């Protein structure tokens, strides 16, 4: 696996948006915060472009992604926000320069497709992390601090409290995953990860519980769950239910789908659409230990 270099003070990061649009000035505070880390921020030519809900047309967003990964000085590419749209531009990118000169690609949610695509097709690690829209006020929080530590090579593990639904044990493998809805949407495509022997992490936002059950049933029936080395369940935030309740929580749905397997499962991980969204090295070998606490060691 190819691992981009950690950043140092004075390095350049490229800032772009490949999904939902960003308003001018909306993330000025986040830019100032990243600059306070000693980094130089280079904004994409179409960062504040708008085309309906998107941050510019497909062509403009693809152009900014190409500009960022080809940037001769940038050591990382930070995506301003998620939403939807990255999948529409991936197939228009020439990755040759990126493979020769890899840099960190940082984001989550809609960027799950990017993480999966880059791992499967290029064998390069990426960073599942918070994005500027989540610290746009310019104030440090747990998520921005985690992003900083990861970029500067100071993140070695995640540890969080045990959960009553946990299944104890130890698993080792390549760490993959991200937003469950996005992973579901790329099944069968050239961006789909082979989950065999992997430590999978999942999170999601504003889905109906029966949608979640549908996605977990697809993962089970397709064999994606059967050969996992471990499962990390992050935050499933603001989930919805029908007037007639589904009858299970998001966590109970996931546990039921995995009930016939014996890999360790750690619930309530600090990963997802929450203020405490820890960074995860996507594509890196990890050890998951689920016991008196849950520990993911990179």
pLDDT in tens, 46-60: 999 999 999 999 999
Backbone angles phi, psi at 170, to 5 degrees: -130, 135
How far is the C-alpha of 154 from the C-alpha of 156, rounded, in Å? 6
Give me the chain's average pLDDT, please: 98
pLDDT of residue 290: 98
The band of 197, judged by pLDDT with boundaries at 50, 70 and 90, is: very high
**Diameter of the chain measured on Cα atoms:** 56
Domain boundaries, the chain: 12-151, 157-297
Domain 157-297 has CATH 3.30.1330.10: no
The band of 241, judged by pLDDT with boundaries at 50, 70 and 90, is: very high
pLDDT of residue 57: 98
Mean pLDDT value across residues 172-183: 98
pLDDT of residue 224: 97
Mean pLDDT value across residues 57-68: 98
Residues 108-124 pLDDT 10s: 999 999 999 999 999 99
Among the four given CATH numbers 3.40.50.10740, 3.40.50.2000, 3.30.830.10, 3.40.710.10, the one describing domain 12-151? 3.40.50.10740
Residues 268-280 pLDDT 10s: 999 999 999 999 9
Q: For the chain, what is the radius of gyration of the CA atoms?
A: 18
Angle at 179 between CA 173 and CA 182, to 5 degrees: 110
pTM of this prediction?
Answer: 0.97
Mapping DSSP to helix (H, G, I), strand (E, B) and coil, where does residue 70 land?
helix
Residues 22-38 pLDDT 10s: 999 999 999 999 999 99
Nearest to 44 by CA among 71, 16, 65: 16
């Amino acid at each position: 696996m190819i691992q981009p270099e950690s950043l140092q003070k004075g390095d350049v990061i490229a800032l772009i948006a490949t999904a939902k649009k960003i308003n001018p000035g909306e993330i000025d505070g986040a830019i100032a915060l990243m600059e306070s880390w000693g980094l130089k921020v280079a904004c994409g030519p179409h960062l504040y472009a708008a085309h309906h809900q998107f941050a510019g047309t497909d062509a403009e967003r693809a152009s900014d992604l190409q500009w960022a990964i080809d940037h001769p000085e940038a050591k990382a590419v930070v995506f301003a926000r998620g939403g939807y749209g990255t999948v529409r531009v991936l197939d228009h990118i020439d990755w040759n320069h990126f493979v020769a000169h890899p840099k960190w690609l940082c984001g989550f949610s809609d960027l799950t497709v990017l993480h999966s695509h880059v791992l499967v097709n290029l064998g390069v690690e990426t960073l599942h992390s918070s994005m500027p829209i989540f610290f746009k006020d310019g104030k440090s929080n747990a998520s921005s601090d985690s992003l900083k530590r990861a970029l500067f090579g100071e993140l070695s593990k995640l540890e969080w409290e045990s959960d009553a639904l946990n299944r104890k044990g130890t698993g080792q493998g390549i760490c993959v995953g991200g937003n469950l809805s996005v992973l579901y949407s790329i099944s069968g495509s050239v961006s789909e990860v082979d989950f065999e022997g992997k430590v999978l992490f999942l999170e999601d936002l504003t889905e109906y519980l029966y949608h979640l059950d549908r996605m977990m049933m697809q993962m089970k029936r397709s064999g994606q769950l059967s050969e996992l080395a471990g499962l990390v369940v992050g935050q499933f935030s603001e989930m919805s239910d029908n007037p007639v309740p589904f009858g299970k929580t998001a966590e109970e749905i996931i546990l039921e789908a995995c009930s016939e397997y014996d890999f360790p499962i750690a619930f309530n991980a600090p990963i997802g659409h929450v203020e405490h969204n820890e960074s995860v090295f996507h594509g890196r070998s990890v050890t998951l230990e689920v016991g008196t606490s849950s520990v993911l060691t990179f």
